[in-house]
Amino acid sequence: MNALRIPVTPFTGQRPGTSGLRKRVAVFREPGYVETFVQSLFDALPDVIGQGVARQTLILGGDGRFFNDRAIQTIIRLAAANSVSRLIVGREGLLSTPATSALIRERKAFGGIVLSASHNPGGPDGDFGIKYNVTNGGPAPERVTEAIYRRTQAISEYRTLDTPDVALDRNGSVKVGETDVTVIDPVTEYAGLMERIFDFDRLRDLLRGGFRLRFDAMNAVTGPYAKEIFERRLGAPPGSAVNAEPKPDFGGLHPDPNPMHASSLIATLAGPEAPDFGAASDGDGDRNMIVTRAGAVGPSDSLAILAANAHLVPWFKDGLPGVARSMPTSSAVDRVARKLGIDCFETPTGWKYFGNLLDAGKIALCGEESAGTGANHVREKDGVWAVLFWLNILSVRGESADAVIADHWARFGRDFYVRHDYEEIETERANRLIDGLRRRIPELPGARFGEFEVASADDFAYTDPVDGATSAHQGVRIGFADGARIVYRLSGTGTEGATLRLYLERYEPDPARHTLATSAALAPLAAVSVALADIGGITGRNKPSVVV
């Protein structure tokens, strides 16, 4: 079948951010927008990684958000016109991000495309996104995303076929042009992988033995995964997974698993007859929030607790070679690594920076403060996996989650932590604020702000210890003499204006103070963070829009 060559003029702004290309749905619906980006991806790969998609297998799926169904058909035609030999597509166009990563690895595919804007809102007025994962199953590294972006600026035509839509509602194979399009169950292989990682017999005893789990899929992609794994395979009572039907508009929910957007889960865990353990995940199933009767567990703490208890899980029975965290994530996991005598790497924000460390076997577990935890079983963060990890630990220790957390703080001390987001501020003001901080870096050490004295200040730069790739300007870090820290950086996943993120942390060794409210423990540092960067003066905002 002859490919059609359709002329296009480049769109501005098709530059992938922290995790793929994200824009408003209305932007993605502009004629040729999806085609231009995906053709640019296909065009860029041969130069940047030495091989293109022709005669290769690709995995394709998405989180089911509005426009997923349209974009996926467009991409099937483009892939066929670009001589992809086999496309493996999740039924109904669904595949979670970690399941896509698992499939790329298991099926030895060349790469995969995930249609998702992750934790961003969905629906016709919400966001859409496209991300590309490479052969190791992980997000395309920066040199690849930059090559794609360069191509989007020079592209003059895309290739497609004039073929009808492919039915995605049942498993099986059809031909589109010369390409074999195989529709598969999105859950089966992922669930099989989980069975090889965790002690499913123990988990069955736990969940059938009266321990009550509430998993909130937030009407996003993990519903079918949770139903199959927690309810069918592990025997949790039906209804343990709620909001478990993926919906194009996420049922009006904002699928960001934090205490603000998953407030009903927090309320259920705090209420009478509360379940023993709560969890939620995001649009594409790579984030997790863990909720106990005492509230949400900080993601940085969760990472540290998983690291300290990893040996209780079959997959990690021989221990961890090393761990990693993104730079703004708290040092709680560093303390665990020190005690275990293993390396702890500090990477820029975004999962793509963990891939090389995992591939090289330098680390087996990693995480981010933004509710992302993952390991060497895939090359993405993994929400359902993190919940199983916690349950496996609880089933072995026979303690409540709150007891495990209190014990962890008693052993390691507590790193109080909070993130303040100022969303949708004008880009010019956001840049002015960060530029101002950067200019002041040399003069900050030694400066005093109330009870805090600056010990170090820098603009975080990273050199990948495996391939030597460098990434600069990854956030301004200000360290204080008592070990407290403030980080300022701009988000790379937003679609409207700029989002300023402020990350605050302070170490507390004294167990008598571990039950303090985070807001109280960090209030003096929060005041410094606002004054130091003149947030009010520059942004015109007197408080953050999100506190997590």
- 119 binding ligand VG1? (CB under 6 A): yes
Query: Among 372, 374, 475, 544, which residue interacts with ligand VG1 (rule: CB under 6 A)?
Result: 372
DSSP string of 33-94?
HHHHHHHHHHHHHHHHHS--STT-EEEEEE---TTHHHHHHHHHHHHHHTT-SEEEEEEEEE
The nearest distance, CB 47 to Co ion, in angstroms, is: 29
How many CB atoms neighbour CB 436 within 10 A?
13
- 96 binding Co ion? (CB under 5 A): no
Query: How far apart (Å, rounded) are the C-alpha atoms in residues 88 and 93?
Result: 10
Q: Are strands 365-368 and 322-326 parallel, antiparallel or unpaired?
A: parallel
Q: Which listed range, 111-119, 227-235, 256-264, 440-448, lies at the site for Co ion (CB under 5 A)?
A: 111-119
- 288 binding Co ion? (CB under 5 A): no
- 32 binding ligand VG1? (CB under 6 A): no
Query: Among 199, 216, 228, 286, which residue interacts with Co ion (rule: CB under 5 A)?
Result: 286
- 368 binding ligand VG1? (CB under 6 A): yes
Residue 529 binding target from Co ion, ligand VG1, none, CB below 5 to 8 Å by type: none
Distances from the Cα of 536 to the Cα of 339, 401, 501, 520, angstroms: 41, 39, 14, 21
Residue span 290-329 as binding mask against ligand VG1, x where in contact by CB under 6 A, dash where not: ------------------------------------x---
The nearest distance, CB 488 to Co ion, in angstroms, is: 23
The nearest distance, CB 470 to ligand VG1, in angstroms, is: 18
**CB nearer ligand VG1, residue 94 or residue 203:** 94
* Residue 185 · residue 91 · CB < 8 Å: yes
**What token pair was written down for 349?**
């924000």
Residue 326 binding target from ligand VG1, Co ion, none, CB below 5 to 8 Å by type: ligand VG1
57-62 sheet: strands from edge to edge: 21-24, 127-133, 111-115, 57-62, 86-94, 179-184, 172-176
Q: Is 118 a catalytic residue?
A: yes
- 231 binding ligand VG1? (CB under 6 A): no
* Residue 53 · residue 134 · CB < 8 Å: no
What's the length of the chain?
Answer: 548
Q: Which listed range, 56-64, 211-219, 237-245, 489-497, lies at the site for ligand VG1 (CB under 6 A)?
A: 489-497
- 331 binding Co ion? (CB under 5 A): no
Query: Among 83, 136, 163, 491, which residue interacts with ligand VG1 (rule: CB under 6 A)?
Result: 491
Question: Taking CA 326 as the corner, what is the angle to CA 147 and CA 47, rounded to the nearest 5 degrees?
Answer: 15
- 473: Cα separation from own chain's centroid: 21
- 163 binding ligand VG1? (CB under 6 A): no
**What token pair was written down for 270?**
């705090």
Buried b (16+ CB within 10 A) or exposed e, 494-511: bbeebbbbbbbbbbbeee
**CB nearer Co ion, residue 251 or residue 413:** 251
- 493 binding ligand VG1? (CB under 6 A): yes
What is Dmax (Cα atoms) for the chain? 73
Which residue in the list 118, 370, 471, 529 is annotated as catalytic?
A: 118
- 256 binding Co ion? (CB under 5 A): no
Sites of contact with ligand VG1 (CB under 6 A) = 18-19, 118-119, 282, 286-287, 326, 349-351, 368, 370, 372, 491-493, 501
Sites of contact with Co ion (CB under 5 A) = 118, 282, 284, 286-287
Residues taking part in catalysis: 118
